[in-house]
Every structure is written in structure tokens, then in C-alpha cells.
Amino acid sequence: MKPWRHYLVLCAFLLVGVGLSVRVLYLGVTEREFLQQEGDERSVHKEVIPGMRGMIYDRNGEPLAVSTPVFAVTTNPRLAKFKELELQQIADALGLSKEAVRKKVEDNKDKGFLYLKRRLSWVKSNALKQLDISHLTLEPEYQRYYPAGEIASHVVGITDLDGKGIEGLESNFETSLRGHAGAKTVLRDRKKNSIRDLDYLSSPRYGEDLNLTIDLRLQFIAYRELKAAVNSHQAVSGSLIMLDAKTGEILAMVNQPSFNPNSGDKQQNTMRNRAVVDAYEPGSTIKPFTALAALESGRYTPETIIDTAPGYFKVGNKLIEDPINRKSLSLGQSIQKSSQVAFAKLALDLEQDAIFDVLARAGLGNYVGVELPGEAYGKLSSAQLKYPVVRATLAYGYGLSVSPIQLAQAYLTIASHGLRLPISIVKSDVPDTGERVFEVQATKDVLTMMELVTAREGTAAKAAVSGYRVAGKTGTARMIGANGYDDERHISWFAGVAPVSDPKVVMIIVINEAKAGRSGGGKVAAPVFARVAERSLRLLGVSPDKVDVDLARAPTEASAPIGFGGRG
């Protein structure tokens, strides 16, 4: 090579180097902010730090709702050019087909962000991360998990895909349970993997925990027995509520059918908290309140005789009748035998608004305000009380409607010896002393009369619990169909209090449309009370209060349909 060519090439390289250096210096001075911004957009990223949702616990600290860390798999369809092998690897990790992943990316190719999968487990996320696929990002998030599953689903509720409460307490306490996300800036490589945290912009704030009055042990017992009863009687649905008679706290609340909040397969029909949102005519479960109105009048005692002969009588054009002629019954025996005639006559002998006033003071026709969504208002009106037939039917539970939670609050006023206590499902450190609505002795007399119902001769002998005095009342109400009351469709009720000497639990059971041959509250709902109460009272450490533990469990025929569609 000639020397001049060597120097020519050397000069050319020098000139290029000087030119590049000058250009770099020029851009560094004149375009510094622009270049810094462009570089940051490609390598510096603002990353959200999810705030964990508050946990939900039962009264004993057992978790009912927890948040577990998971990942969302995202990509930028505009930039993602996945190879066939990468598509297959992604599909295998996400549990999808390769064609489904390909179609999802191609259908959103004009977008800058796409979720390929939400709530991917930690194990699968780590496996996917090891593949080191460009333009595939794993974003941290939380998934709600419910350890009790369907046992407490109607109470706890569920959250949606974004972690927002949409049912139950998850919905009603969304503001306090919800966590607030924080943020940080991170340095990413060309494959969008985080290399280093650069700065923390704000800290995540965790949601507040929620402590319930529910006892998961009792919840499980109630759920198991209610489900067995609904299945065995081929019923449409059922509900059970158990209250602490001293505080008004809900110890258990279950419904059938139920749903598994951890499963994606949920139907609206199974998600209804029927104990709160459904209302029915209560039938003969109202009779103890009619008896209470009679005691308050001062003209009746539990021993006052009521002549029911010849077993029927007319009020206007309506015939009210008992299944047999029971002749003369005391007020206590009228509750025990659930005599329609006795209570209709009683209603017509009292002041026009006497029974309505007692029911209103017990809380029927008002919101319970139990902090669960969709509470039914129920119906209790005084507009038609001037008509004798309305007063007569009201006395045995027709012409009004109540939700199971409303009826539970009403019976709580009897179990608490006249105090109207607020019903609560969230644990409070400050107990409410309640409001006195009935006299102590009157409610004690009613409890004593209700105890006759669970004796051998009563309509709910199957509600008796060995070792404990049990007060209760059955109710069987005909449902309204297209042409009035339907003789083939019934609501079966049982309301119970135990132990009578010092009430600890109040329980309401309702079975909707039992189809397996029996529909009376004493045969369908009362046995559920006995099975749940027997285990619950012992778990709660309640001492037996009955010396004679050989309580009758012999079957007793329920009363036949009478009057305006009800029986005891």
C-alpha cells in the first residue's frame, strides 16, 4: 500500500471520530432534556405497588377472607412479536391453547396494553418468568381467597376481578377493606424486566381488618344441618339465623342453595342472602306476640280459658277452623296446640291496634340495619285494622310479611325479657344496652307458654334438646300463587329460644317449599333447630338447665291447613 493511502484512511477515521464527538457534544448540550426523556421512557418505568385488602375474621380470629399475592400477565401487542415456541410456552403456563393466545394478541394489536391472564399463581408466574420472553410482563396483584368456602359465602360475600367487593360484607365495607396502592420508579432492561428500584414515590396502605360476630364452628354446624334438611325435604331453599340472646350478635347465618366464592362458577340465584333479602308471611310464629298483647291488656293470664268449640267460627264470610274441636283451651295450651280459632277470637276481643302495636315494638315492619346489602323491608300495615277479618288473620301471621332476620329480632325481644337489642354482625367493643319495649314478667310468661310447644303434646316435639329447656313456635304458611293461596306450596318456620331459664341463643329456621311429603314447621324446620342447638349449646359451654333429660322426640302430627291458609 502506498503511504498516501494509509494517511488518507487515517484522516477519514479521524474526521468521522471528530464529527461524531462534535455531534454527541452538540446533542448533549442542545437536546439533553429530549434525549433524557426518550431514554427514561424506554428504561425508567413507574410501577404500582398494590395495597393488600384487609382480612375478615370470625369472632375467634379464624380467617374468613384473605388476600394472597398473585401476578397479572401483560404484554404490549404493538411491540410483541412472539415466536411459535414462545406462544406455546406462554399458552402452557397460562393453561390456554396456543391459538387462543395468538388470537388474543392479534385482535388487540392496535393497543399498547393487554392482559393475557389475571391472578396467575406464584409458582406458575416464576416458571413463566424463567422463560425470559421479550414484551411479556408480570405485574403483582392480590387475589381474594375464602378459607370457609360456601359455608360463610352469603355473609362474607365476594370481590370482582379487580378486587372490589360486590356482594356481602365485602361490598358493604368496601371503603375500609380496600387497600390503597403505592408507587415506585424502576429501571428496566430492553425485555421490560426490572433491574433496580430507583425511587419510592408513595407507600401502599393496607385495608382495615374486619372482625365479625360469626362463630365459624356454629356456622359449619348450621350449614351442614340446613343443607341436609333442604335436600331431604326436596325444598327450593332454606335459611337459618342464630343470635346471641344477650347481645343481639349474629352467631351464624346460612342459606341454601349456597355458592363457592373461590370458584368462578356462580349463579345469581345461589348468591342471594335469603335470610336478609327475602320476605314471607310468618304464619303461626306470630302467635306468641298475640299472646303477649293479651297479657299486656291485663285481662288475660297464661291460664285464661278460651272456648274454641265447635272448632270453627266465621268472621264475615271467612271460615276459621282447627283440625279438630279442641273445646276449651288455656292461653298456654292455645300456643301449644297452635289453635287458629283461639287466637282469632283473642284478636277480636282485644283493642283494635293491640296486636299491631306489639309487632311494631318488636321491630317487624322496620329495617333491622344489619349492615348486609339488600335487606328486605317487610310489610306491616295498620291501614285495614278496622276490619275484623284483618285483625283475626294478623293474630296468626297472615296479612304481613317478614324476613328471617326481622323475625329473629322480634324473638330476640322475648328472649332478652323485653329489650329490643340491635342486631349486629360486626364485632363491637361497646355493647348496646337496647331499649325496653316489653315488661319482663310478660315475656317470661310467653317463654314459659312457648316451652309447651316442644313438649310431647306440642306441635314441635322434634325441637326438644336433651338436657335443655327449649321454647319455640312452629309456623306453616301457604304461599300465594296466581289464583290466591296455593295449597301445595308452603313456607315452614320454626323460631326457638334456649335455654329457657337463661336464654343464650335465638334461632330462626325457614324452609321454602318442601316437596317430600311434609310441609309443617314442626316436621320440617323444628328438627333442624334441635340438631343445631344441641351441638351449639355445648360448644358455647352453656350448662344444661333441665333435670329430666328424657325429652320427648315422638313424632306429632302437624295441624292441617285451616282458615286463611295456615297451620301451626
From the candidates 153, 171, 258, 284, give the one annotated as an active-site residue.
284
Cell numbers that stand for 61 in this block: 380470629
Residues with Cβ within 8 Å of 489's Cβ and at least 6 positions away in sequence, in order, are: 478, 479, 481, 513
Among 359, 567, 558, smallest CA distance to 460 is for 558
Q: Checking DSSP bridges between strand 56-57 and strand 114-120, what pairing results, if any? A: unpaired
Q: How many CB atoms lie within 10 A of CB 64?
A: 24
DSSP strand E in 368-462: where? 419-420, 435-436
Q: Is 420 helix (H, G, I), strand (E, B) or coil?
A: strand
Query: Which single residue is written with the C-alpha cell 487515517?
Result: 10
How far apart CA 115 and CA 127 sit, in angstroms, is 18
Cell numbers that stand for 227 in this block: 343443607
Cell numbers that stand for 509 in this block: 329456621
Q: Is 202 helix (H, G, I), strand (E, B) or coil?
A: strand
Active site (annotated) includes residue 284: yes
DSSP strand E in 175-283: where? 182-188, 194-202, 210-211, 237-244, 250-256
How far apart CA 430 and CA 283 sit, in angstroms, is 36
Strand partners, 468: 465
Please name the amino acid found at residue 502. D
Q: Is 320 helix (H, G, I), strand (E, B) or coil?
A: strand
Among 151, 271, 272, smallest CA distance to 223 is for 151
Among 380, 383, 385, smallest CA distance to 351 is for 385
Q: Residue 12 — left, alpha, or beta (φ > 0 → left; ψ -120 to 50 → alpha)?
A: alpha
Peptide bond connecting 499 to the previous residue in cis, omega within 30 degrees of 0 = yes
How far apart CA 561 and CA 568 sit, in angstroms, is 9
DSSP H or E segment with residue 404: helix 404-415
- Between helix 98-107 and helix 84-94 the angle, nearest 10°, is 110
How far apart CA 147 and CA 275 sit, in angstroms, is 22
The per-residue DSSP string of 258-281 comes to ---TTSS---TTTT--HHHH--B-
Q: How many CB atoms lie within 10 A of CB 262?
A: 15
Cell numbers that stand for 100 in this block: 387462543
CB 322 within 8 A of CB 339: yes
Helices (H) and strands (E) in the chain, counts: 19, 20
CB 447 within 8 A of CB 471: yes
The alpha carbon of 80 is separated from its chain's Cα centroid by a whole number of angstroms, namely: 44
- Catalytic residues, by residue number, are 284
